Each structure stands twice: as C-alpha cells, then as structure tokens.
Amino acid sequence: MTVRWVTGFLDSPSRAAEPFWVAVTGWSLSARRGGGVFATLVPAAGDACLRVQVVGDGPARSHLDLHVDDIGEAAVRVVGLGAVEVADHGDVRVLRSPAGIVFCLVPWRGERVRPSGGVSVVDQLCLDVPAVAYEREVGFWSAVTGWAVRATDLPEFSYLQRPAGMGVRLLLQRVGGEVAGVHVDFACSDVDAEMARHVEAGASVVRRVPGEWTTLRDPVGREYCVTGRAPFSS
C-alpha cells in the first residue's frame, strides 16, 4: 500500500462557511457534485488538497482522505494495523483510527504537485490525539503512510516526513480530553498579519501563542490554526 496523496475535508452542516474558505485560501470552488454535497477548493497552481462537504449535522469538523491505488487492498492493510471500518461505499471506504480519527480511502487520480503561490498556504492536517492514545496513534499513522516520525522542539507535537511534492503534512498533537479529531493548519510568514486577514474574512480568535501560532474559528465554529511555519517548507 502506498499513500499517493492526502486531502483534507471540511465537513459542515451547511454551505455557510464555504465563501470564507475560498477567501482565506485564495482558491476557487469547483462545480458541486454528489447531488450538491461535495466541492473542491482548486488552487491556481498545483493539485487540490482541500475539499468541502455538507454533512447535514453538527458540529462542523474535519477529516482526511488517503488516496491509494487499490482501495480494497489498502482497507485490509489499515484494518490489520488497528483501524475499524465504518462504511464501504465502493469507491470510498470510511474508517476510524485506533484513537477514533475518521478517515477515508479513495482512488488516486494522479495528484502529485503541491499547491503554491500566495502569502499563505494550507500546510498541515493536525491529528489531535488524547494523551493516553498518543504513542499508539503515532505508530499507526506512520505504519499506514510509510512515513518516518520526526520530533519537533515541542514535546506535544511530532510529524510524519511527507514525500516530496505531497500537498499537506501530517502533524500529530498530544491533547487533553478523550476525543480525537483533525484540524487544518495554514503556514505563513507573518502570523499577526495572517490572523488579521482571517478575522476580517469572518474568523474569530480562540487563543494565541505569540511567535508560534494562533487558533481561530471559522464562521460555523470549526477550529483551525495559522502557524509561523514558512510557506512551502518541507
């Protein structure tokens, strides 16, 4: 099994936040499909790595899709590593990681070029993992992707070394509480300026870590972060 591409999904009760995400990413919204349920945020350069979905219930949340060559083979592999299969829709398999993070296996359509351009970029999908499950979850995602685990200078974070050209990096964060989840991180060269741009577009500030990152909420209450990582870094 080879993970060819990773896509983040913004799952919302309605389309209310979609104009906000178009504004802050600078990407355009594709034609809708699946009876109006799905659309893709299309960058001016590179392959798409962020999509929107109307799920009809709350709260607003995020999940990730792993793009693979053979969905059936990949499903057997990830279940063997500890995932639980939730649903089989033929060309989409829905699963949960050992800590409860929802993800999908979907067909690879040739994506291979990281989006580029602009003052910021969707850079990471952060997997928020309760402390009690953290070590197992890090091992699970490394085994699923085949990507090496790398430490950071903060003990509550580690990341997986993505291949060259991969659109988003996977960051894992040790959190309190009992519920695992996923959120989107932007990289930018000026966190304060980027934060102000997002607030002007309709976000609200949740918390700030000066010089590092700011956590915000989009117009439907979904948390995400703006970080000081250099855009387009590895």
Got the DSSP string for 44-106? SSS---EEEEE-SSSS-EEEEEEEES-HHHHHHHHHHTT-EEEEE-SS-EEEE-TT--EEEEE
Angle, vertex CA 186, rays to CA 183 and CA 94, nearest 5: 35
141: pLDDT strictly greater than 80? yes
Q: Which CATH superfamily is domain 120-227 in?
A: 2,3-Dihydroxybiphenyl 1,2-Dioxygenase, domain 1 (3.10.180.10)
CATH class of 5-107: alpha beta
Average pLDDT over residues 195-216: 95
2: pLDDT strictly greater than 80? yes
The model's pLDDT over 36-70, given as tens digits with 9 standing for 90+, comes to 999 999 999 999 999 999 998 889 999 999 999 99
**What is the spatial distance between Cα 26 and Cα 174, in angstroms, rounded to a whole number?**
30
Instruction: Determine contact, residues 108/42, Cβ cutoff 8 Å.
Output: no
Task: Mark 207-224 as b/e (b = at least 16 C-beta within 10 Å).
Answer: eeeeeebbbbbbbbebbb
All structural domains of the chain with their residue ranges: 5-107, 120-227
Q: Percent of the chain at pLDDT above 90?
A: 91
Cβ neighbour number for residue 69 with a 10 Å cutoff: 12
Q: Give φ, ψ of 64 to 5 degrees.
A: -125, 150
Average pLDDT over residues 199-217: 95
Instruction: Determine contact, residues 157/149, Cβ cutoff 8 Å.
Output: no
234: pLDDT strictly greater than 80? no
| Least confident piece of the model among 60-64, 90-94, 152-156, 181-185 | 152-156
Same fold, 5-107 and 120-227: yes
Average pLDDT over the chain, rounded to whole?
A: 96
The whole-number pLDDT of residue 5 equals: 98
Average pLDDT over residues 196-221: 96
Cβ neighbour number for residue 4 with a 10 Å cutoff: 17
Task: Mark 185-204 as b/e (b = at least 16 C-beta within 10 Å).
Answer: bbbbeebeebbebbeeebbe
The sign of the dihedral angle between the CA atoms of 88, 114, 124, 11 is negative
